[in-house]
Amino acid sequence: MACNVDLNGISENKLGVTLAEASDQQIYGLLMDEVRERCAAAPLNDGKRKLYYISAEFLIGKLLSNNLIDLGLFDEVRAQLAEAGHDLGAIEELEAEPSLGNGGLGRLAACFLDSIATLGLPGDGVGLNYHYGLFHQGFIDNQQAALPDEWLAEQGWLVPEERTYTVEFGDFSVTSKLYDIDVPGYGQPGKNRLRLFDLQGVDDEIVPSDSIDFDKLALKKNLTLFLYPDDSDEDGRMLRIYQQYFMVSNAAQLIIDEALERGSNLRDLDEYAVVQINDTHPTMVIPELIRLLTEKHGIEFDEAVGIVSRMAAYTNHTILAEALEKWPLKSLQKVAPRMADVIVRLDKLARAAHDDPRVAIIDENDVVHMARIDIHFGYSINGVAALHTEILKNTELRPFYDIYPEKFSNKTNGITFRRWLMGCNPELAALLDDAIGTDWRRTGDLTPLAALVDDADTLSRFGEVKAAAKTRMRSFLTRTQGAKIPEDAIIDVQVKRIHEYKRQQMNALYIIWKYLDIKNGNIPAHPLTIVFGGKAAPAYVIAQDVIHLVLTLSQWIANDPDVAPYLQVVMIENYNVSAAEHVIPAADISEQISLASKEASGTSNMKFMLNGALTLCTLDGANVEIAELVGDENIYTFGASSQQVEKLYADGTYDAAALYRRPGTKLLVDFMTSPAFMATGNAERLQRLHDDIAGKDWFMALLDLEEYIQKKEEVLRDYEDREAWGKKALVNIAQAGAFSSDRTIAQYNGEIWHLK
């Protein structure tokens, strides 16, 4: 292999000591400098039409290893460090993880930036530089505590840019400043950037160190402090609108300026720029672009509408009503009156064209439906998995599909193999290199592995790779939170935001079942460790209750000597990208158990599959596509279908109380409120969750519970045939190429963006 970097030389040169003598902290500094310099030197990708991927979230994760991979230095650096007695993983722990996202949607945006750069396409991400991110999750008394996440203090990747803009709100204006994070492509000379706008005058001091409560009215100081500030009160909702407008007004000014710099006369702006609107948070970029083209650049309103409608594309990420944003018109008028005027005019245009109140932008209560702006005044709307897109077309957005069938398409989500295989599981990547050659690193094609699923050497090596990943995960969880996981444990993982539709509560009911089963003397062949991870929105009470149930079960079982050797519950504190990178390679079982029709796609399902876990799932989101690819014998599916679920909602016939009264179910649900368990946990939280599940159960955990328990027991039995299990895992890896985000981005570009 060509020598592209000489760390020992750099160390001697810059530190005056050999690499072996340098401390991890020193090496971290050297590597950061080296990578930053190389990124800075890379030319920007160019082309006439440039993509702006606007998103409230970019859950980019740590960047050191990722950038080393993209620059083609990762394996060499790891080897040189190892030779000098250092471990790149330990060094990367010194890097703070940027806290700029929430869950799957933000992580998708990050995978997409990596793939856009890797395909050599000109396209930047545009978002905000939240000083305290979402929040840092702590556990106190088996409950979630939300703390400010001080990631920015130790941040080394942000490069300040000269650009600043004025953003005019209704009764005041602010100035922005811009930071960039370079995004190199894998095996590409060029790069793109993540452009993060910040607020001049932002004041970190208004946030206490031990809570995320701050003055929501201090808009000139708080706009870029937190992602998704609590919106359970009016001030919080207003702050979100201010933030969104701040983001899109900056984005729109940037887009127009860069197009002018590159020779556009703005009447041809759509030949120079395309905007991908990631969920509805950036929707106001449409009226804001129209406003700027008309007010500042003298273009007639109708022409401006036409230009913007040819450059705006929208991705829908959810069918949950609560996430399809609606804002009162009067709130928008207060935040940005002239932009709101444009929305009123767009509503009139839409009403004139379509005499159907279901597709009006502003409803009879003067509430603005943001997604409807995107659909009428963008040229593309896409769902994120085949099933999700069908549900959009046939149900949720049916009246729009009837008007604009040609605008709708599916783009099944994907993940970057750089981070989710090469970076987090280099042993598996090396196995693949040896088994099928290295082309997969470029193409994402892993199907040649299908020919080797019966190969004894490949199977035994896969076993070693999985064991090594488990060792890394065990030491990570011991180091970070003192968890002790048995060496031979089956690792069953459900990591994702805590939400009722994702049904962590159903998994918790399984745990209660398993606990009682072991108490009854049914001793499992292998210990089972069930790993949870995920944050809950601070104002989402039931989700907090679910976290509390899981943590209380964890403690309860650990304290029961009859059961503790065989069953263990671990909840990862502050689940984030780094934690995901430690846990996913180690998993045997991937829990993807959302209520069918509710998970738009999921992407952790893809990460687990790629790392050789078997999926236990409902036929929801991209699980459907995984099942089709691997075949019934290599996946474990259960539960009501999306059609059945949609019918239950439509008919209003779901009866949680009747299901609860079945003796087997009642026993499990009532365990939560048994006196001894109540005494261990917080009685109010347990009672509330109990009553919610027994009486309402909006996301139908009880509907699928019995089948889930049976299926999970089948999975555990199958685990005992180690060879058959290994073959199934290899089949899953072999089919995972379909979920490379390089494939997804090639489709976005070919069918929506048309860059280059």
Per CB under 6 A, residues contacting ligand PLP are 103-104, 107, 496, 576-577, 580, 602-604, 607
Nearer Cβ to ligand PLP, position 50 or 607?
607
474-510: b or e for each residue (b if 16 or more CB lie within 10 Å)?
A: bebbeeeeebebeeebbbbbbbbbbbbbbbbbbbbbb
Cα–Cα distance, 725 to 614 (Å, whole number): 8
754 is catalytic: no
Nearer Cβ to ligand PLP, position 554 or 576?
576
Per DSSP, the residues of 308-359 read HHTTEEEE-----GGGS-EEEHHHHHHH-HHHHHHHHHHHHHHHHH---GGG
Instruction: Note whether 85 and 19 are within 8 A (CB).
Output: no
Provide, rounded to whole angstroms, the least separation between the CB of residue 577 and ligand PLP.
5
**Active-site choice (49, 470, 598, 607):** 607
Nearer Cβ to ligand PLP, position 99 or 552?
99
Least Cα distance to 126 among 185, 80, 57, 199 occurs for 57
496 is catalytic: yes
Cα–Cα distance, 577 to 614 (Å, whole number): 21
Other CB atoms within a 10 A radius of the CB of residue 36 amount to: 16
**Active-site choice (38, 195, 393, 496):** 496
Provide, rounded to whole angstroms, the least separation between the CB of residue 496 and ligand PLP.
3
Q: How far is CA 416 from CA 60, 157, 278, in A?
A: 11, 20, 18
Phi then psi for residue 396, to 5 deg, are -60, -45
Nearer Cβ to ligand PLP, position 290 or 580?
580
Provide, rounded to whole angstroms, the least separation between the CB of residue 575 and ligand PLP.
6
Provide, rounded to whole angstroms, the least separation between the CB of residue 107 and ligand PLP.
4
Provide, rounded to whole angstroms, the least separation between the CB of residue 130 and ligand PLP.
16
Cα–Cα distance, 736 to 540 (Å, whole number): 34
317 is catalytic: yes
Tokens 């999750």 belong to: 137
529 is catalytic: no
Tokens 């008309």 belong to: 294
Instruction: Note whether 47 and 106 are within 8 A (CB).
Output: no
**Active-site choice (118, 603, 615, 744):** 603
**Active-site choice (497, 535, 685, 711):** 497
Nearer Cβ to ligand PLP, position 133 or 726?
133
330 is catalytic: no
For residue 503, what are its two tokens?
A: 């049904």
Provide, rounded to whole angstroms, the least separation between the CB of residue 243 and ligand PLP.
21
Exposed, middle or buried, 418 (CB in 10 Å: 0-12/13-18/19+)? buried
Provide, rounded to whole angstroms, the least separation between the CB of residue 617 and ligand PLP.
11
- Give every CB contact of residue 385 below 8 A, 6+ residues apart in sequence: 410, 412, 413, 600, 601, 602, 621, 622, 624, 625
**Active-site choice (407, 502, 582, 685):** 502
Cα–Cα distance, 382 to 404 (Å, whole number): 12
Nearer Cβ to ligand PLP, position 86 or 607?
607
Known catalytic residues are 317, 496-497, 502, 603, 607
